[in-house]
Amino acid sequence: MQQFCCGYTIAVVKHLYYGQTTCTDIKPLGDRVLVKIKTAEQKTDGGILVPTTAQTKPQGGEVVAIGEGKIVGKSKVDISVKIGTQIVYSKYAGTELELNGSKHLILKDDDIVGILESDDAKELKPLNDRVLIKVAEAEEKTTGGLLLTEATKEKPSIGTVIAVGPGPLDEEGNRKPLSLAPGSIVMYSN
């Protein structure tokens, strides 16, 4: 309802909310997910404090809210994770925001790389068309026996498949399985 008084338009509202927004107040739309970001390591294993400029940006967190999914073709596709799931996501994905003093991220379901329930990377469960590969070790010496420095070592582009996601969605919203299996040796590009 609007009222006019002394040349001003005044809006009358029934309820105003003052205070902090909580995670339960936010409902992501469509195929979006709200993630509470893990805090960056502030100390090394030896106990040395790491300045904020040298801390690596976390790429994992806990799902605190999910959208209703998306429509692909004539099918409704649900979000691939549930609330409470620990995930790993793409490095530059999403929109950062702060809720209750904690950093959160709203990102698309497709930006979630996989589910990681422990700190062991071998336990990662890739999502969609993602594949977890154990990269081959770089050669330490030349064929003549000379030791190579880190700068001169060739970066391997071959590895062993550890885990495979369920596959991409087709035009109808059905999963198309990947033609890889754990144990396969593959060549990849960065």
Per-residue pLDDT of the chain (190 residues; tens, 9 = 90+): 444 444 444 444 444 444 555 555 788 999 999 999 987 666 666 777 766 665 566 789 999 999 999 988 888 889 999 999 999 998 888 999 888 888 999 999 999 999 998 878 888 999 999 999 998 887 777 778 777 777 777 777 889 999 999 999 888 888 899 999 999 999 888 6
pLDDT for position 73: 84
pLDDT for position 188: 85
Q: Could you report the per-residue pLDDT of 65-114, keeping only the tens digit for each?
A: 999 999 888 888 899 999 999 999 988 889 998 888 889 999 999 999 99
pLDDT for position 40: 65
The pTM is what? 0.71
pLDDT for position 32: 94
DSSP for the chain, please give it: -EEEETTEEEE--S----S---GGG----TTEEEEEEPPPP-B-TT-PBPPTTTSPPP-EEEEEEE---EEETTEEE--SS-TT-EEEE-TT-SEEEEETTEEEEEEEGGGEEEE-SSS-GGG-EE-TT-EEEEEPPPPSB-TTSPBPPTTTSPPP-EEEEEEE----B-TTS-B---S--TT-EEE---
Structural domains in the chain, CATH included, are 21-127 (2.30.33.40), 130-190 (2.30.33.40)
pLDDT for position 141: 78
pLDDT for position 48: 75
pLDDT for position 44: 65
pLDDT for position 20: 53
